[in-house]
Chain A
Amino acid sequence: MNPGSQRLRTNTGQQQVHQALQESGAVEFATPEEAIRTDLARTMVPPTVRERLAESLAAESAKPVSWWRRLFS
């Protein structure tokens, strides 16, 4: 078999698979990192984190300065 025609057929096969994937809504990732980055982009951080953090930081700022900090400041 002609190696050139075999490679051409393989490439055509890959293109068909790729096209079929696109049409079906399927996805493919070249590397695990690519899949992870996509997953990260799709992951929503719960807004409660920010709210809780704001409350905690407000409490943190309101904390009285300890006697030894006052002594050495």
Chain B
Amino acid sequence: MLETPVDETPPDSSMAPGGQFPLGSDFAVLYEKHHRQVFYLALRILGDPGQAEDATHDVFIKAYRKIGEFRGDADLRTWLYRITLNHCSNLRQTWHARNVHVQADDTVFELAVGNSENPLRMLEISELGERIHKTLGALPDEYRILLLLVADEELSYDAVAELTKQSTDAVRGKLHRARKAFAVAFQKTA
């Protein structure tokens, strides 16, 4: 899913003529509204807080340079996610990332007899970050990104489908398998 960069052309161009937003005005509003989601997406894709920090900085620099072409607020989150996905994809295509990252075997999750209907339980909320990190790390890229995007309630299934370059029906179908895979992997991280 991360292999091919998606089109980052902004969907509209009336929001920011000239694109000159000093930090402290409209661009700061944009940053305040979306930076946590951008950072989190990068963190859970790259798995490293330092890399996620760099990625968030670079994504917003890129957004700043291109925001003059942006046309409206409706798909701003989607647009930022698109830039983030492309940026993380580029980072992960480095030699190190290609060779160190272990690709999860999808069939393991397909055949697993985990019960995804049961709630995900844990003893300490303080363990959540580590458990989510390990769980998502064990999933195939496609499932990981799908769950991260769908978890954002501001994003419609259509937007998720657009970002992941597949049909909305495909998103719904894969989401079911992704949830099951997550439940199986989550149990193993206990």
| Closest CB in chain A relative to B97 CB, distance in Å | 21
| Chain A residues whose C-beta falls within 8 Å of the C-beta of B105 in the assembled complex | none
| Chain A residues whose C-beta falls within 8 Å of the C-beta of B125 in the assembled complex | 25, 27, 38, 42
| Chain A residues whose C-beta falls within 8 Å of the C-beta of B15 in the assembled complex | none
- Whether B35 pairs with A35 at a CB distance below 8 angstroms is no
Known contacts A27-B125, A32-B183; decide if A60 and B120 are in contact (CB<8 Å). Answer: no
Q: Is A53 interfacial (CB 8 A cutoff)? A: yes
- Whether B186 pairs with A53 at a CB distance below 8 angstroms is no
A53–B35 CA distance with the chains assembled, in angstroms: 11
Q: A1-45 interface mask toward B, CB cutoff 8 Å, 1 = contact, 0 = none? A: 000000000000000000001001111111111011111101101
Count how many chain A residues have C-beta atoms less than 8 Å from C-beta atoms of the other chain: 32
- Whether B31 pairs with A53 at a CB distance below 8 angstroms is yes
- Nearest chain A residue, comparing its CB with the CB of B36: A45
- Whether A32 pairs with B120 at a CB distance below 8 angstroms is yes
A31, A37, A39, A46: the one contacting B129 at CB < 8 Å is A39
| Chain B residues whose C-beta falls within 8 Å of the C-beta of A42 in the assembled complex | 125, 128-129
Chain B's interface: helix, strand, loop or mixed, by majority?
Answer: helix
Known contacts A36-B147, A43-B40, A56-B57; decide if A49 and B132 are in contact (CB<8 Å). Answer: no
| Chain A residues whose C-beta falls within 8 Å of the C-beta of B7 in the assembled complex | none
A43–B35 CA distance with the chains assembled, in angstroms: 12
| Chain A residues whose C-beta falls within 8 Å of the C-beta of B65 in the assembled complex | 60
- Whether A37 pairs with B22 at a CB distance below 8 angstroms is no
- Nearest chain A residue, comparing its CB with the CB of B60: A53
- Whether B151 pairs with A33 at a CB distance below 8 angstroms is yes
Q: Is B104 interfacial (CB 8 A cutoff)? A: no
20 additional contacts (CB under 8 A) given A35-B128, A54-B23: A25-B123, A27-B122, A27-B125, A28-B121, A31-B120, A31-B179, A32-B186, A36-B147, A39-B132, A40-B37, A42-B129, A43-B43, A43-B129, A46-B49, A48-B53, A49-B57, A50-B23, A53-B31, A53-B57, A56-B57
Residues of B within 8 A of A (CB): 20-23, 27, 31, 35-37, 39-40, 43-44, 49, 53, 56-57, 60-61, 64-65, 119-125, 128-129, 132, 147-148, 150-151, 153, 178-179, 182-183, 186
Some 25 contacts from A to B, beta carbons below 8 A apart, are A27-B121, A27-B125, A28-B119, A28-B121, A28-B122, A32-B120, A32-B147, A32-B179, A32-B182, A32-B183, A35-B120, A35-B128, A35-B186, A36-B132, A37-B151, A38-B125, A39-B40, A39-B128, A42-B128, A42-B129, A49-B56, A50-B23, A53-B57, A56-B61, A57-B64
